[in-house]
Amino acid sequence: MAHAGICSRRKAEEFIRQGRVSVDGQVVTELGTRVDPQKSKVFFDGQQVLLADEHAYFMLNKPPGFLTTLSDPYGRPTIKDLLGHIGKRVFPVGRLDRDSEGLLLLTDDGELSNRLLHPRFKVPKTYIVTVSGHPSKNAINALEQGVEIAPGQRTKPCTVKLLGRKKRQAVFQVILSEGRKRQIRYMFRAIGYKVIRLIRTEMGPIRLGELESGKIRALTDREVQALKQAAGL
């Protein structure tokens, strides 16, 4: 199911335990059950799970104001509104919150997506972050060493570099090896500063470059291979 782009491996395990997966008409609840996709038919919630013959890989420059989801029950703008007719059913690799912008990868390659997001593979994500105020050097050092963003949740060490200062703002480059929900906003909040703009510019070897806001393009073969290499594939 992960390879087919349905969900992550962890979610697949949950769905199997819940009895939502069947093989050749028989519900399967035992994890680790072996299946030959060439001979058996796998269904999830009554829909057949099919492996793509060739995976698709895209890059989107997400504008602020769009949810990183393909549907929203409240009718709010989502990234699906920006995809156009790309001819493939793809899903986002990770998330950018509604107010954030920049590089968002989309694919139907579940294995690559899982590896890019899993902290074990340490694929770096680079952001340009504008904050209100001028954090001290000691505060930035604290960010780099790791801060508590919620009870029992401490961030891993990261890289934070000052890029410039304005009258009431400072701009930083932040490089993470993990990607928790709204992590950078919570990190700066932990040292007493508010993020007012957040742009993801790189994910592993892939750079946003000159892609215009709201536009999407297919990754080149070279970019795909570089991504796979970064993820250990």
CA separation for the pair 88, 71 (Å, rounded): 16
Number of neighbours of residue 50 by Cβ within 10 angstroms = 12
CA 86 to chain CA centroid, Å, is: 20
Selecting among 53, 97, 108, 109, the annotated active-site residue is 97
Tell me whether residue 97 is one of the annotated catalytic residues: yes
CA separation for the pair 71, 67 (Å, rounded): 9
Dig out the tokens for 46 from the structure. 């009554």
CA separation for the pair 183, 125 (Å, rounded): 12
Element of type H or E holding 189: helix 183-190
List residues with catalytic annotation. 97
